[in-house]
Amino acid sequence: MRFQNVIPPISALLAASALAACGGGSSDNGVSSKSAQAIVSDAANAMDGLQTVHVAGSAATGATPVTLDLHLVNGKGGTGQVSENGLSFKVITVNQTVYVNAPTSVWQHFAGPAAAQLINGRWLKSSAAGQFAPFAKLTNLRSLFSSLLSSHGSLTKGSTTSVNGQKAIAVNDTSQGGTLYVATTGKPYALQISKSGSSGGQIRFDQFNQSVSISPPANSIDLSQLSGSG
């Protein structure tokens, strides 16, 4: 049996999703006086310097809804859940190895009943460069933020506002129709990138630099042992 179609096309989320966050601090950080491009650059640098962050929310790839709830650790990986169109995957990435767990019904949907019976509730594992690469990208803190904050068109600076109770400045992507909100107090973290329409949604960033524990699950199955069977 083959697992090439097990992973849903969630990598498209990186270019089309909407993201949100909460930052800390009360002193003005000066970003609101800068150009739109400079604000985005400051946000990218701030997010790149994070040790941990929580990412949660929903967006869409075309007509397919995608939901994320992930805790990411810089330089190590992440843990949480990814759902697409009602199909949910638990994910753990530790040091370039990706572990995925899902209900039997999910494996039956993507790989058939024989594969689901073989897996029988256990975790599958693969290298971050293998068939679970889309999950690896979503649980790589630097890769995720680099993709999200560099994938934009023409930028214009918007007005100041409040996002989740924190002061922010808006930066509008006039080419792709999204808006990035960056904290104007404390660290200039990205607080929200919103997008409307069929590919719109919102994903939040919060719990910056809080303690996160990640460890590989026991008794996992190496995906390479199953990919060529059947």
Residue 27 CB-half CA count within 13 A: 2
- 144 within a domain of the structure (yes/no): yes
CA atoms of 39 and 62, how far apart (whole Å) = 29
Q: Take residue 29 and report the two structure tokens written for it.
A: 């950080």
What confidence score (pLDDT) does residue 192 get?
Answer: 83
- 26 within a domain of the structure (yes/no): yes
What is the tally of structural domains in the chain?
1
- 228 within a domain of the structure (yes/no): no
- 169 within a domain of the structure (yes/no): yes
What's the predicted TM-score (pTM) here?
0.81
Q: What are phi and psi of 197, to 5 degrees?
A: 90, -170
In the block, tokens 């999703």 appear at 17
- 99 within a domain of the structure (yes/no): yes
- β-bridge partners, 59: 66
CA atoms of 174 and 156, how far apart (whole Å) = 7
- 24 within a domain of the structure (yes/no): yes
What is the per-residue pLDDT across 99-140, written as a single tens digit (0 to 9) for each?
999 998 888 887 788 888 888 889 999 999 998 998 999 999
Q: Take residue 212 and report the two structure tokens written for it.
A: 């996160």
CATH number (domain holding residue 47) = 2.50.20.20
Give 158's pLDDT tier (boundaries 50, 70, 90).
very high
What is the per-residue pLDDT across 176-219, written as a single tens digit (0 to 9) for each?
778 889 999 999 998 888 887 766 788 788 888 999 999 999 98
Give 92's pLDDT tier (boundaries 50, 70, 90).
very high
The answer to whether 89 and 102 are in contact (CB under 8 A) is yes
- 221 within a domain of the structure (yes/no): no
What confidence score (pLDDT) does residue 129 get?
Answer: 92
CA atoms of 8 and 190, how far apart (whole Å) = 27
pLDDT value at 98 more than 90:
yes
What confidence score (pLDDT) does residue 102 get?
Answer: 92
In the block, tokens 């999200």 appear at 148
What's the domain range around 84?
10-214
Q: Which residues of 184-221 are buried (b: 16+ CB within 10 A; e: fewer)?
A: bbbbbbbbbbbbeeebbbbbbbbbbeeebebeeeeebb
What confidence score (pLDDT) does residue 227 get?
Answer: 59
What is the per-residue pLDDT across 55-70, written as a single tens digit (0 to 9) for each?
888 877 667 788 999 9
Q: Take residue 186 and report the two structure tokens written for it.
A: 């404390």
User: Using the 8-state DSSP alphabet, how is residue 76 labeled?
Assistant: T
CA atoms of 77 and 128, how far apart (whole Å) = 10
At 121, is the secondary structure helix, strand, or coil?
coil
- 40 within a domain of the structure (yes/no): yes
At 196, is the secondary structure helix, strand, or coil?
coil
